[in-house]
């Protein structure tokens, strides 16, 4: 089952726990970052080795040559592993020329950016990345600034906002600008938040590209939003 044919949705925290194997059964590593095109289409995964290997790379003891896996090279995503359709020796690494499209964007970069509404008001940050059955990625908007925004509306619940990528107008040094303004976000937040079961049902129902909508979700008690990613 390839990334474009998922039975069930998965978030980036769950994906990072899966060991990646090439078509010949050799271990490649685990996902440490996600790469998007300038149009925010999924492009590839950057893969790292063990914690010891990553530390040695950061300290300069060995070359930082993390493999890069184009999404089209993913054959299956299983419960405990990701299987590729190519051998390990055919994978390029992130320092090679033309391995990424011009002006590529990483998830680690996007997570550092503030989310800004259509009128220039900061409302939060990206706290999670979700892969839905149709193969698209969806961001989750949350964080302390978003919590304050929600509290100003008089809501006590700890909630997040599902943010389809087509609601992003642009990305700049200032932040990530949405096509929606604060009033439109408030109208969405007035809706009843999806509980955990409703979230799963909704995300698993997204089997056609472009179907995802902005939805309010209860923040899970065992939130897995604290992942730290290295930059490219």
Place of tokens 């509290």: 151
- CA 10, CA 224: separation in Å to the nearest integer? 12
Domains of the chain: 3-107 (2.30.30.240), 108-218 (2.30.30.240)
Per-residue pLDDT averaged across 114-127, rounded?
92
Confidence check: pLDDT of 87 > 80: yes
The model's pTM is 0.84
Q: pLDDT (tens digit, 9 = 90+) per residue, 182-232?
A: 888 888 877 778 888 999 999 999 999 899 999 988 876 534 444 444 444
Would you say 163 and 101 are in contact if contact means Cβ atoms under 8 Å apart?
no
pLDDT digits (tens, 9 = 90+) for 45-66: 999 865 545 554 555 544 557 8
The CA distance from 202 to 198, in Å, is: 6
């Amino acid at each position: 089952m390839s990334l474009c044919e998922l039975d069930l949705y998965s978030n980036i925290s769950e994906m990072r726990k899966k060991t990646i194997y090439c078509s010949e059964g050799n271990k490649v590593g685990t996902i440490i970052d996600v790469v998007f095109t300038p149009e925010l289409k999924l492009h590839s995964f950057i893969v790292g080795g063990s914690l010891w290997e990553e530390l040695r790379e950061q300290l300069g003891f060995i070359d930082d040559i993390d493999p890069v896996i184009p999404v089209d090279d993913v054959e299956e995503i299983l419960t405990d592993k990701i299987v590729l359709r190519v051998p390990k020796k055919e994978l390029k690494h992130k320092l090679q020329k033309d391995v990424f499209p011009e002006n590529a964007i990483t998830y680690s970069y996007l997570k550092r950016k503030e989310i800004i509404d259509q009128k220039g008001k900061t409302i939060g940050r990206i706290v999670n990345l979700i892969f839905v059955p149709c193969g698209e990625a969806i961001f989750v908007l949350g964080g302390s600034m978003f919590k304050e925004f929600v509290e100003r509306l008089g809501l006590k619940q700890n909630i997040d906002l599902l943010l389809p990528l087509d609601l992003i107008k642009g990305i700049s040094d200032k932040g990530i600008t949405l096509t929606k303004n604060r009033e439109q976000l408030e109208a969405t937040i007035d809706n009843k938040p999806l509980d955990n079961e409703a979230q799963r049902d909704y995300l698993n129902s997204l089997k056609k590209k472009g179907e995802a909508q902005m939805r309010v979700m209860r923040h899970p008690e065992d939130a897995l939003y604290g992942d730290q990613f290295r930059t490219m």
